[in-house]
Structure 1
């Protein structure tokens, strides 16, 4: 069950409308690093949490709903940037409408043609949002690692957008979003710290069934053999405490891909043999 308040989570102000920046903001809504991705990712992860782990379900769902608020903020920012024209364009406008001129010069035409100068569920190139961006594996540890990555790329995007604008209102909003990404990265790390034996994922798989010859071995893929570079990942104890890293100067190799064409209905043969 969800409830909605008409008040934005954080005030959104635009002093100098910029249709081009509105186009850039679309990435933070419907892009691979955007708020639609994390809102739905956390929500679907929460749906899979069993009753005995209610604290994780609450953590995920509360953050998902917060991210819905971020979508609302960004959609407001897009509209405010689209529904006005930069000062220099207003001054230069003669016969043409300055807003439409600004949109066609640097914005995303579909924001005008399909959405009437409002935000859309697309990225900065106009590509529709896809559920393929969402990671919800059903394994809490795997999902938390995915969430750290999602917040990392989200914070990176918000930081880049912050540097792309001189508008004080947009910088204030993005400063808020960057700060929330900081919190969310840390909360997912904190959640991982509460889980025992979460490396490797899934830790519940019986490691005695793994190939014991290669489960902690770094394999070099260079054609020529090289010396062990003596890096953290080629020597010493593994982070899970269950093995010792080793180094192989080559891949093991074995067997040829000698596939047989046996299904005539697939028509994979060049001729009727």
Structure 2
């Protein structure tokens, strides 16, 4: 069980960092959206009344919050733990594939270079996580799950921001951990030995 634990811990460690990275990108995009301390026009936040998540404007000063796009807070309901390793790995694989589809839709919704760079980064890293869970399922069951990827069927190479990160930094090949000494047994899933690990 230890290799699967190490793999999940490595991915979880990175997912926490994604919260910070995405929050920072959101805050960069929102800087200057409201003039504070002045009222240059009547009701500068008038559009907020029609927003899906008006709480974002009313209570957070338009900063990132731990909520979904409709303002629903993250809770224990966001955690899935069945006690069955195959089911949990399959669930994580499914979630990563769904997240990949959502990232592609977000990419289509934005033109800002900061937003597209963030989405490109998440496509690369999420793509690694999809493959990691697929390989874990293969290692556990013998089923060739990697034949399903990428899901959706669109290569990261089609997104210039993602392709640049893959070509220049090889970010699609590195499994992050907290330190070089953490979670080394995840490598058994990849190739029977230790993977190329990058410490954070």
The TM-score range, normalised by the shorter chain, is 0.5 to 0.7
Specify which structure has the higher proportion of helix.
2
Whole-angstrom CA distance in 1 between matches of 2:72 and 2:16:
20
Residue 95 of structure 1 aligns with which residue?
A: 41
Alignment of 1:192 onto 2:140: no
Partner of 1:79: 27
In structure 1, stretches of 5+ residues that fail to align are: 1-52, 199-273
Displacement of 1:102: 5.7
The answer on whether the counterparts of 2:66 and 2:73 sit within 8 Å (CA) in structure 1 is yes
Q: C-alpha root-mean-square deviation of aligned residues, in Å? A: 2.6
Q: Which structure's relative contact order is higher, taking Cα pairs within 8 Å and 6+ residues apart?
A: 2
User: 1:33-72, aligned counterparts within 5 Å?
Assistant: 53-72=1-20
Structure 2 partner of 1:48: none
- Measure, in 2, the Cα distance between the counterparts of 1:128 and 1:74: 16
Instruction: Specify every segment of 5 or more residues in structure 2 that has no aligned partner in the other structure, as ranges.
Output: 144-200
Do the aligned partners of residues 107 and 81 (structure 1) sit closer, same or farther apart at CA in structure 2, a change above 3 Å counting?
farther
- The TM-score with structure 2 as length reference comes to 0.61
Instruction: Identify the residue that residue 125 of structure 1 maps to in structure 2.
Output: 70
- 1:219-230 paired onto structure 2 within 5 Å: none
Max Rg structure: 1
Quote the Cα distance in structure 1 between the aligned partners of 2:47 and 2:117.
24
SS in 1 for 2:72: coil
Q: Distance in 1 between matches of 2:53 and 2:75?
A: 19
Count residues in correspondence: 140
Distance 1:171 1:197 in 2: 37
Select 2:79's aligned residue among 100, 118, 134: 134
Q: Tell me how far 1:196 sits from its aligned partner.
A: 4.1
1:150 counterpart = 2:98: no
C-alpha displacement at 1:116, in angstroms? Answer: 2.5
Mapped to 2, the partners of 1:153 and 1:179 lie a distance apart of 14
Change over 3 Å in CA distance of 1:65–1:97 after alignment to 2: farther
Structure 2 distance, partners of 1:101, 1:74, is 26
Q: Could you list the runs of 4 or more consecutive aligned residues of structure 1 that deviate by over 6 angstroms after TM superposition?
A: none
2:123 pairs with 1:178: yes
Work out the CA distance in 1 between the residues paired with 2:52 and 2:22: 16
Contact 2:93–2:130 (8 Å) recurs in 1? yes
